[in-house]
Amino acid sequence: MFQREFWMEIGESLWRHKLRSALTAFSVFWGMLMLVLLLGSGNGLRRGVEFQFKDDAINSIWIWPGTTSMPWRGLPTGRDMRFRNAEVKHLQRTEPLVDKLTARYHLRGTFAVSRGDQSTTFRVRSVHPDHRFLENTVMLHGRFINPVDLEQTRKVCAIGTEVRDFFFAPPAKGQQDFGPPPIPQPGVWTAADSAAMGRYLTVKGVPYQIVGIFHDQGSRGENQYIYLPISTAQKIEGGTDRVDQIMFTFGNASLAESREVEARLREDFARRLKFDPDDQQAIYISNDLEEFKRFQGLFNGIEAFVWVIGILSLIAGMIGIANIMLITVNERTREIGVRKALGATNGSLVRLILLEAIVLTALSGFMGMALGVGTLWLVDTQVLPPIPEPDSMFMHPGVTPGVVVGALSILIGSGALAGFIPAIKAVRIAPAVAMKSA
């Protein structure tokens, strides 16, 4: 098999029909190239979507109040639903699968956040301590809102890195206020961190002491938030007990269990707030686990479709190679007869035809794979930013080693299959008949 003459003979056979061999090889090359590029691009989209889910806990349910669209027991449509602290406490007390629970209350009106003569409009959320688990908030320094802050209605706040940078590390002249920052690391102090901790920011005329600095790996806007204790914000807003949103995690519950929780929630809220349980607009419930599974199923389907298209393209190339080998066997009928008359074994003839088909398939397919992998690598390293944008939906395109091994296996298998029928035909040639052929 490793004799120089043997491989020279394969090369001469392919070169004898170079145009036909090149066109057939191109079909295999193109099929493998498209397979790698499509799979790599699909992986880039999958990673981008999964990165977006890092912003929030996947095993979570989010609830918003809406407006009734159906009458209920004499009550009219168009009623605005309102959540209060009582709903939060009731949910924590009655739902066994609740793990981390928080609500949000948004300060009303238009206001600015200021420090000294610096002032701008940052977004403010008032929340419970468990909120940082829902948003996957990483505390860099200090702490987040804690239960004592709620009990004592303390005027404290946790700020995002972009809030810190605006007030305590202003950008140089000509630099944008909100550029893509490097990912900070917990425990690594900067001059801005030291300047910010323990200082005060004024929100709607009320000073809040900075007790923590956080970073959120989700969308860029998350690092422009200021978090306040929800009890403090409610008290300052006139003693209201209203909340605008409720969210919680449910531990390691399955998708089916999370859907059961959804159903129980809708029934429970319908009973407490007096609306039809079938009214989907009275309250809105978002199940992040269900959304994540839906995206996973979508991308699994896309990946399967790409594999089917790629394999069909390879089959088309394999058929072309099989036709070339059949033509080659027909043209070399006399030669094969002479070989058999001189003692060539059936195994040596089969090996010659099979290897010729495998070489043509493997070389063209490997070139397509190499070009595809190289293109994906260039896109990842030269086109896409080194640090993905927080809002990026496409990142790190590429194929896994398992895909490469699987594609190579398909290449070798398809090459062997393409040469199998011509090889069997060559074996069945009778030497006497072959010698008589012109």
3-state secondary structure of 73: coil
- The pLDDT score that the predictor gives to residue 177 is 47
pLDDT (tens digit per residue) in 118-132: 999 999 999 999 999
- The pLDDT score that the predictor gives to residue 185 is 67
- The pLDDT score that the predictor gives to residue 30 is 84
114-117: long-range pairs with CB below 8 Å, 24+ = 114/201, 114/202, 115/167, 115/199, 115/200, 115/201, 115/202
- The pLDDT score that the predictor gives to residue 7 is 65
Could you report the average pLDDT of every consecutive run of 10 residues in the chain (438 residues)? 60 70 79 85 80 70 94 93 94 91 90 91 94 89 95 96 89 50 69 92 94 81 91 91 93 85 93 94 90 82 82 75 72 69 72 76 85 90 72 78 79 75 70 59
Crossing angle between the packed helical segments 346-378 and 288-331, to the nearest 10 degrees: 140
Q: What's the whole-model pTM score? A: 0.67
Taken as a whole, the chain contains a residue count of: 438
- Our measurement of the distance from residue 95's CA atom to the centroid of its chain's CA atoms, rounded to an integer in Å, reads 31
pLDDT (tens digit per residue) in 68-115: 999 999 999 999 999 999 999 999 999 988 999 999 999 988 788 999
DSSP 143-208: ----HHHHHTT--EEEEEHHHHHHHHSPPPTTS-SS-------TT---HHHHHHTT-EEEETTEEE
- The pLDDT score that the predictor gives to residue 438 is 47
Residue 92 near residue 247 (C-beta atoms within 8 A): no
